[in-house]
Amino acid sequence: MYALSIRNLTKTYRNGVQALKGIDLDVQEGDFFALLGPNGAGKTTTIGIVTSLVNKTGGAVSVFGHDLDTDLEAAKSCIGIVPQEINFNQFETPETIVVNQAGFYGIPRAVARERAEKYLKQLQLWDKRKAMSRTLSGGMKRRLMIARALVHEPRLLILDEPTAGVDIEIRRTMWEFLRGINAQGVTIILTTHYLEEAENLCRHVAIIDQGRITEHDRMSTVLRKLQTETFVLNLREAVAQAPSLPGYAVTLVDDHTLEVEVGKDRSLNDIFVRLAAQGVDVVSMRNKVNRLEELFMRLVAKDGAGAGGSTGAAAAAAGSAGGARAHGGGAR
C-alpha cells in the first residue's frame, strides 16, 4: 500500500492559473521522499490538496488507501502537515497550540499534554512553552509547527520547506530528528530548495516543474542520470592560463582556481596525473554544486528554456525567504 497515491491531479485556480496539469505520484510507506521544483512549480498546491486546504479541480488522491473523496476523515487522521507559511495563532503559547491541535484530532487532554511535552522537548522548545508565540524566532516557529504536526502521531508527515530560514546547526539537528522519525516508520515527504538536504535525506525524489512531474524515481537512479560533474580545484601556485587537459572542459576561474567538467565515463586520476606532469599542484578540490543541484538545473533549464522565469536552484539555494510572516495586529 502506498502512503500517498496521486492520479492525474489537476488544479486551476479561480484566477485562471493552471497550477497542476495532471500529476501522478506514488510514495511508498516508510519512504523519505523529496518533492522538488522551482518557485511556483506547484509543490505547495499539491500539498494543499493532499491536506484538504485546497480544492482540487480533477483527479484522485488517496492516503494509506483512504480516498480523499470518500474517506476524508480517515485520510486526515493519517497526515501531519508542516506548512510553508506560519499558520498558528501568534497570540497563543506553544504549549496551547500543540495541546489544542491534539484536541482537534480527538486526543484526550492528559495524553495531549504528555505528547506536547515530549515533542516540544525534542524540538528544543520546552523552555519557550509559555512564551507568546509571536515572540519566537523564525526557526523556533518552524520547529513549533513540526511539534504541532507530530502531536497526533501521524503515519505520513509532510513538510513544506521546513528548513527555510533555519540556521545551519538547527538544520542539521532537524535532519537528525527527521531521520529518527522516519526510522520509527513514519513516511516523510519534504519540499526544499536546499538540494543538498534532499540528497542527504531522501530515498526517492520527484521533480515538478510548471505543474508537471518531470522526474519520479529513486534518488540514486536520478543522480546516475547526471552525465557530468563539475569540480573546482584550488591550486597552490598561480597559473597564467588553463593547463591543457585534453578530453575535459577546463575553465580558469582565476589564477588559483580551475573548474573541470568530468564525464562520468572518465576517471579523476587521469586529471591529477596530467596536472602533476605540468607541475600544477592541487591543494584542494570540491564539487562545484551538489550533484542533485547540477541535475536539477539541467532538467529545469532544458524543458523550461526561456519560459517560467529564473527557476533557479541557485537562487533558491541561496536561501528562500521563509521564516516569519508578520500578521497585522488584531489577528486575534
Partner 1 sequence: MNGATAAAVPASRSRAREAWIGYRTIVMREFGRIVRIWGQTIVPPAVTATLYFVIFGELIGRRIGEMGGYSYVQYIAPGLIMMSVITNSYGNVVSSFFGARFGKHVEEMLVSPLPNWLIVAGYVSGGVVRGLLVGAVVTAVALFFTHLHVHHAFLIVAAVLLTSIVFSLGGFINAVFAKNFDHISWFPTFILTPLTYLGGVFYSIALLPGWAENLSHLNPILYMVNGFRYGFLGVSDVDVGFAFAIMIGFAVTLYAAAVLLMHRGIGIRE
Ligand X SMILES: Nc1ncnc2c1ncn2[C@@H]1O[C@H](COP(=O)(O)OP(=O)(O)OP(=O)(O)O)[C@@H](O)[C@H]1O
**Residue number with CB closer to partner 1 (101 or 214):** 101
Residue 155 binds what, of ligand X, partner 1, Mg ion, none (CB under 5 to 8 Å, by partner type)?
partner 1
* Contacting residue, 4, 32, 33, 44, with Mg ion by CB under 5 A: 44
Alpha carbons 28 and 5: distance in angstroms, whole number:
9
Minimum CB–partner distance for residue 23 and ligand X (Å): 11
Unique residue bearing C-alpha cell 591529477: 272
The dihedrals phi and psi of 254, each to the nearest 5 degrees, come to: -145, -175
Minimum CB–partner distance for residue 64 and ligand X (Å): 23
Cβ–Cβ < 8 Å for 191, 161? yes
Binding map of ligand X across residues 10-39, x = CB under 6 A, - = no contact: ---x-x-x-x-----------------x-x
**Residue number with CB closer to partner 1 (181 or 300):** 181
By CB under 5 A, which span of 16-24, 36-44, 57-65, 126-134 interacts with Mg ion? 36-44
Cβ neighbours of residue 309 closer than 8 Å, sequence gap 6 or more: 40
Alpha carbons 259 and 294: distance in angstroms, whole number:
14
Set of cell numbers at residue 1: 500500500
* 84 binds Mg ion per the rule CB under 5 A: yes
Strands 156-160 and 79-82, by their bridges, are: parallel
* 76 binds partner 1 per the rule CB under 8 A: yes
* 40 binds ligand X per the rule CB under 6 A: yes
Set of cell numbers at residue 245: 587537459
Alpha carbons 268 and 266: distance in angstroms, whole number:
7
* 330 binds partner 1 per the rule CB under 8 A: yes
By CB under 8 A, which span of 1-9, 80-88, 166-174, 265-273 interacts with partner 1? 80-88
Alpha carbons 262 and 266: distance in angstroms, whole number:
6
Measure the CA angle with vertex 200, ends 22 and 307; round to 5°.
Answer: 40
Residues in the interface with partner 1 (CB under 8 A) total 44
Measure the CA angle with vertex 46, ends 49 and 12; round to 5°.
Answer: 80
* 41 binds ligand X per the rule CB under 6 A: yes
* 241 binds partner 1 per the rule CB under 8 A: no
Number of Cβ within a 10 Å radius of residue 282: 15
Letter string b/e over residues 156-188, b meaning 16 or more CB atoms within 10 A of that residue's CB: bbbbbbbbbbbeeebbeebeebbeebbeeebbb
Residue 41 binds what, of ligand X, Mg ion, partner 1, none (CB under 5 to 8 Å, by partner type)?
ligand X
Minimum CB–partner distance for residue 185 and partner 1 (Å): 8
Minimum CB–partner distance for residue 39 and ligand X (Å): 3
**Residue number with CB closer to partner 1 (66 or 204):** 66
Residue 37 binds what, of partner 1, Mg ion, ligand X, none (CB under 5 to 8 Å, by partner type)?
ligand X
Cα dihedral 240, 246, 250, 255 in deg (nearest 10): -20
* 89 binds partner 1 per the rule CB under 8 A: yes
Q: Please give the residue ranges that form the binding site for partner 1 (CB under 8 A).
A: 13-14, 48, 51-55, 72-74, 76-77, 79, 81, 83, 85-91, 96-97, 100-101, 103-109, 148, 152-153, 155, 185, 327-328, 330-332
